[in-house]
Amino acid sequence: MLRVGGRSVAWVPPLLLLVAIGVIDYNTGGEFRTISWIVLVPGIAAAICGVWGTAVFAVLAIGTYTAVDSAWPHQFQAGLPDFILVTTGGVLATLACAVRVRGEHRALHMRDVTDTVRQTVLRPLPPGWGGLEHAGVYLTADAQARVGGDFYDIQPGPHGTRVFVGDVQGKGLGAVETAAVLLGAFREAGYHEPELMGVADRLEDRMVRHREYTTAVGRADGDRFATAVLLGFPADCDDAVDAVVFGHEPPLAVGPGGVRILPVAGGLPLGYRDLAPGAPPRTRRVPLAADETLLLVTDGVTEARDADGRFYRLAEHVSRAVAADPRTVAPARLVALVRDGTLRHCRGRLADDTTAFAVRRVRSPGREGHEGGRSPY
């Protein structure tokens, strides 16, 4: 707080107040004394300075009070009662500052823990990871939480590169735990399974076993599920993408020529296959141009509402932006566009965790990781 050129200037406001009160009191009449107001000085310091700084201002306030009050004739002196007030105020301000600083340290520690959890769930992805240009934007509905149930990841392997984006039903630590469980299963299955459907089966099995565990330990989130999109970029085919959808919005293919919805909708959310055991989700291979970027979003984007209750029209917004500037198809530009459009549409009031993730194949070694590296947003 209150830094100029990297240096703290938190001591300036209480010092100015200290000087101002002393000068005002010295230059007013004996019938109107303001020196007892100096008790405000350590109080202000307690809010913006450290413990030692507050203690110093408490001592300065007592010393200034004594010096200024003693300069007046005896009949106009505030005397012992106000001296006790200033002394007590300084002591209480110092104690209050110690409590404040301790709380700040605890909050910083909890933020570090939360950031560690977030990096475990949403691990940083190297530029050009798995031969893909990629960018991601992740916003939590609770700005203090910093991590929620949305997730995305890329897993390269001997059978191609797999991409996993989804949203765990609900909020809180239970949703974060479920997202971590699914990502762990994806990182293993995405590397080892030769077929994308094998990855999908492993994810379904892991979701079901996690639900059985949470039910067995008596947790109230035993009916949790997840919607997701699983993509596969085959190593032997650079003009198509394989996709499996688990009750999620299908990806958008965004290219200089426009925006199209990949025809891959369908499938039940992860954890609900037992409701339709005879109709498992299917893998579908869809042609994909070299200059097309796949955009995947969670329902925090598609269900964002404006003041009139209207949903955010993602495809229309992206189409207009691409028509105005074809460079928008770059993953980093695309997710920044979605982020800004979503926040503008809902006026910054996110009702749910919001994720936008964009990927496309690296078009040449010279461009790898240049435009489409992991977004800093």
pLDDT at 376: 33
Three-state secondary structure call for residue 65:
helix
Q: Which sign does the torsion angle of CA 209, 210, 214, 217 carry?
A: positive
Give the Cα separation of 262 and 243 in Å (integer): 9
Helix H, strand E, coil C: the string for 109-177 is HHHHHHHHHHHHHCCCCCCCHHHEEEEEEEECCCCCCCCCCEEEEEEEECCEEEEEEEEECCCCHHHHH
Tokens of 201: 């089966």
Q: Which residues contact 347 (CB under 8 A, 6 or more apart)?
A: 306, 307
Three-state secondary structure call for residue 15:
helix
Phi-psi region of 291 (alpha: psi -120 to 50; beta: other; left: phi over 0): alpha
Three-state secondary structure call for residue 281:
coil
For residue 337, with 0-12 CB atoms within 10 Å meaning exposed, 13-18 middle and 19 or more buried, which class applies? buried
pLDDT at 202: 94
CB 335 within 8 A of CB 136: yes
- Cα 108 to chain centroid, rounded: 15
Distances (CA, A) of 202 to 69, 183, 186, 195, 290: 80, 11, 8, 11, 30
pLDDT at 368: 40
pLDDT at 371: 40
Rg of the chain, C-alpha, whole Å: 30
Tokens of 27: 């230059």
Strands 293-297, 354-361: pairing kind: antiparallel
pLDDT at 186: 95
CB 246 within 8 A of CB 281: yes
What are the residue ranges in the chain where pLDDT is below 70? 1-2, 29-31, 73-76, 113-118, 141-148, 222, 277-279, 363-377
pLDDT at 149: 79
Taking the model in full, what pTM does it have? 0.72
Q: Which of 359, 200, 334, 219 is nearest to 280 (CA)?
A: 200
CB 169 within 8 A of CB 237: no
Domains of the chain and any CATH numbers: 3-114 (no CATH), 126-367 (3.60.40.10)
Tokens of 39: 């008790």
pLDDT at 99: 94
Three-state secondary structure call for residue 270:
strand
Three-state secondary structure call for residue 229:
strand
Query: Which residue reads 């947790």 in tokens?
Result: 219
